[in-house]
Structure 1
Amino acid sequence: MTIDKTAIRNAATVIVLRDRDTTPSILMGQRGANAAFMPNKVVFPGGAVDAGDADIPLETSISEVCAQRLRHDTPQDLSHALSAAAIRELWEETGLILGRPGTWSSPPPPDWETYAATGHVPSADTLQFVFRAITPPGRPRRFDARFFLLDAAEIATDLDDFSAACEELSHLQWIPLKDARAFDLPFITEVVLAEIEGRVSDRTPPISVPFFKNNDEDSLFLRLKGQAPNPDHT
């Protein structure tokens, strides 16, 4: 029996929900045919946490309720880094900005330069942590992905302007929530969609967050109920 030694990377995914009170839709795009991870699949924008994300100054932090859920069942507090990664990945893959007008207090790192050039500073208080899943063993890439729900009304720029997006996702589009399952989705995306469908009319953070914990021994379904800061794990 072979043992999967693929490193698990922390990642952030953003589910942008538009027109939630009338005809809710979500922003998705298609991964390339040659992508090592989930080729051709229609997915939410997102990606791995970069080393510098933990040091990015946020104008506002994610709510303490969500931060406690993010700290649960993890050896270190990644709430800041994951929030920053979510904002950066949303910008890189869609060209949409979550942030407020402002000036950076110090020069941004290279992967934040184009974001900073728009005249915005990242703000995370409107992100809601709603789901977590670890990629099962045996896949070419493995991620410990945290999914964040964001109301599209919080986006600072034109919701239909994707001109600043990189080429990682193609066919960026707002898909009616009721029609999303007709697309070629990863299994975990279908599971997350069920969670989102139940939260369309609820604007408060979830009482507990579903967690698909796939490790080398077991596949577990847990609920993250929150954990206060631990000064020994920073």
Structure 2
Amino acid sequence: MTRVLVIEDDPIIGEMLTLYLTEEQFIVQRVESAREGKFALGTFNPDILLLDLMLPDASGTELCSQFRQLTAIPIIVISMKTAVADRIQAISAGADDFLVKPFSMQELKVRMKAVLRRVTTPKPVAVQHTQADSASMPESQLGLSLDLERRTIVLDGDHIETTFSEYEIMKLFFQHPGRVFSREELINAVRGIDSFINDRAIDVHVTNLRRKLEKNPKEPQFIKTVWGVGYKFIK
């Protein structure tokens, strides 16, 4: 059964979420603060996180960024904020989806399942190697590949930690090396047509991938920009 961590300090909304998701056969733990949420990541081991951005001990999109640094599981932000700018900031900070309160519980369930469909084991493990290790590494382990079981990118034998969306973009690139993808195609691949994301968020994900994978992100070897169109992957 899927484990859902709900970080929501409003007692009415929190109770509604807990009751509904429990009835829908999810295992739910709800906490009311960022501090409790960070602790629950390790003790409850959730598969997905529902995060309110206005908590008593922290608030704002930097809160989403903090949780993204702690985990690679899907994060759905639930917020009273309705401005497009707030959605863009949350997605850019690492959220995988954004729902404005009040929202339909059925819509929440559909969006949760949409992001979970693309996840098997979203807890990547980073492995560090020295230069000497890389020099003695077999040629078959050199270069860039995907570890489908761990949902990680492997670069010269190292498992590179990525967010959910970064991994989905790289998986699409690997399936179609050399193909030029428009930003709209990448949006649909990462979110699904009904989920919120924009061109700017795709550019942020690609920039972050280049920082993690490229020796010189300003002169990328793997992810090339095709000006006026989008991006392509050179394997």
Structure with a larger share of its residues in helix: 2
Larger Rg: 2
Q: Which has the higher contact order (CA 8 A, sep 6+)?
A: 1
TM range (shorter): under 0.3
Structure with a larger share of its residues in strand: 1
Give TM-score scaled by structure 1 length.
0.24
Give TM-score scaled by structure 2 length.
0.24
